[in-house]
Amino acid sequence: MTRRIERHRLHASTPGTSREVMVRRYGEAGARPKAYIQASLHADEIPALLTAHHLTGLLDQAADRGAIRGEIVLVPYANPIGLSQFVENHHHGRREISGGGNFNRNWPKLLEMLDDRLDGKLTDSPAENVKAVRAAMIEALAAETPQNELHSLRLILARLAVDADLVFDLHCDDEALMHLFLIPAHWPEGQDIAAELGCRAVLLAEDSGGGSFDETFSTPWTYLAEKHPDHPIPAVCVSGTVELRGQSDVEDSLASADATALFRILQRRGLIEGDPGPVPAPQCAATRLDACEVLRAPAPGVVAYAVALGAQVRKGDIVAWIVDPAAEDPAQARLPVCAGTDGLILSRRDRRYALPGMTLAKIVGTETLPARAGGPLLED
């Protein structure tokens, strides 16, 4: 079948409740290449839901005309748990409010599950090694028993994505420009992806340290290659997090354009027949994630930005002011927050009141920052 819908039920969190993940499949099962795309793992990041809606229409049309050449798995909402988390009309979709933490952290550590399953199975053939590693990954995830609702969600999504050649996890930031996270092994291979999406930044890290969804499927290949230098193991899974601008960028015009860009990427990667046209001119070079400054509030107060998204700043430039509403002397109420590096203002906080330590902005620089080197690189 070239088009079908599946529904995967999660473990119930309480008696009388039930949630499910809907999956749209295109093409023949087992066809190559395989792409996996999911929307809004952080369930309050809504642009991805609208983009997936527009992408569904394009994929349906392609399926109807017999144009699907690989296998495409689209999850139009990846997090039914987070979609339900409203407290007094405020949506809380980034973390599981029952205590499970950030939905995009602590995904299965596939590498730790593979060693025993690969004993004696690696050869001198890259293609055979890819088959062996994928089979071991599938077997490892199949052996896992869900412990609770969140764990069952993670296993469902991981089992759908684990053997894909291309994985896109669609997110967004607070206020942001389009950007992409990849591992260095997939650059410059991923230049066409960044260019087609119109990315203003591509952030590279071997391991960002949070156990994010995208790195669950990309980093095992590079680590296995390092661990088994006598057996060629190519990094076959190009897996990235796509940040679809900011949370308020929920418009049909943007979502339709983003869906069309994703569709063209699938064409260019051999999953859908047809000419995607020339690759657009890139809007950025790739930079290391540890060169991206996460500017944080040094004190509580009202956030008044001094620069706009997309601005180029120099080290020492004022990016924002923290205004203390309790200051007795208005002249002493404003605390400047300055850039610690030269670079592009990639994102800003959408809420204009901050507590100490809260993120205010991200600045895409080109030089590794000592405070960022060697440690976890993702916000919680």
Query: Which pLDDT score is estimated for 359?
Result: 97
User: Are residues 110 and 238 both part of a single domain?
Assistant: yes
Query: Which pLDDT score is estimated for 335?
Result: 98
User: Are residues 267 and 294 both part of a single domain?
Assistant: no
User: Are residues 220 and 318 both part of a single domain?
Assistant: no
User: Are residues 103 and 209 both part of a single domain?
Assistant: yes
Measured between alpha carbons, how far is 179 from 254 in angstroms, rounded to an integer? 14
* 197 in any annotated domain: yes
Asked if 155 and 8 count as a contact pair (C-beta separation under 8 A), the reply is no
* 377 in any annotated domain: no
Residues 5-21, mean pLDDT to the nearest whole number? 95
User: Are residues 177 and 321 both part of a single domain?
Assistant: no
Q: Number of structural domains, the chain?
A: 2
Kindly tell me if the per-residue pLDDT of 294 is higher than 80: yes
* 63 in any annotated domain: yes
Measured between alpha carbons, how far is 376 from 210 in angstroms, rounded to an integer? 7
Number of Cβ within 10 Å of residue 79's Cβ equals: 27
Which of 1-5, 152-156, 240-244, 312-316 has the least mean pLDDT?
Answer: 1-5
Q: Under 8 Å CB-to-CB from 199, ≥6 apart: which residues?
A: 178, 179, 180, 282, 283, 284
Q: What is the CATH number of the domain that holds 268?
A: 3.40.630.10
pLDDT band at 1 (very low <50, low <70, confident <90, very high): low
Last residue of a domain, one of 284, 303, 325: 284
* 247 in any annotated domain: yes
DSSP string covering 269-284: TTSB-S---SPPPPS-
Last residue of a domain, one of 266, 284, 302: 284
User: Are residues 77 and 58 both part of a single domain?
Assistant: yes
Cα-based torsion angle of the residue sequence 56, 57, 62, 66 in order, rounded to the nearest 10 degrees: 90
Residue 218: which H helix or E strand, with range? helix 213-227
User: Are residues 210 and 357 both part of a single domain?
Assistant: no
Kindly tell me if the per-residue pLDDT of 263 is higher than 90: yes
Comparing C-alpha atoms, which of 357, 364, 374, 309 is closest to residue 339? 364
* 25 in any annotated domain: yes
* 112 in any annotated domain: yes
Structure pTM?
0.97
| Pairing between β-strand 95-96 and β-strand 86-87 as defined by DSSP bridges | unpaired
User: Are residues 207 and 330 both part of a single domain?
Assistant: no
User: Are residues 173 and 257 both part of a single domain?
Assistant: yes
User: Are residues 255 and 310 both part of a single domain?
Assistant: no
Residue 102: which H helix or E strand, with range? strand 101-102
* 159 in any annotated domain: yes
pLDDT band at 351 (very low <50, low <70, confident <90, very high): very high
| DSSP label of 91 | E
User: Are residues 196 and 214 both part of a single domain?
Assistant: yes
* 188 in any annotated domain: yes
Q: What is the CATH number of the domain that holds 341?
A: 2.40.50.100
Both structure tokens of 346: 């990639």
User: What interhelical angle do 126-142 and 149-161 show, nearest 10?
Assistant: 160
Kindly tell me if the per-residue pLDDT of 247 is higher than 90: yes
User: Are residues 242 and 300 both part of a single domain?
Assistant: no
Helix, strand, coil percent content, the chain, rounded in steps of 5: 30, 25, 45
Range of the domain at 74: 3-284
Last residue of a domain, one of 284, 317, 338: 284
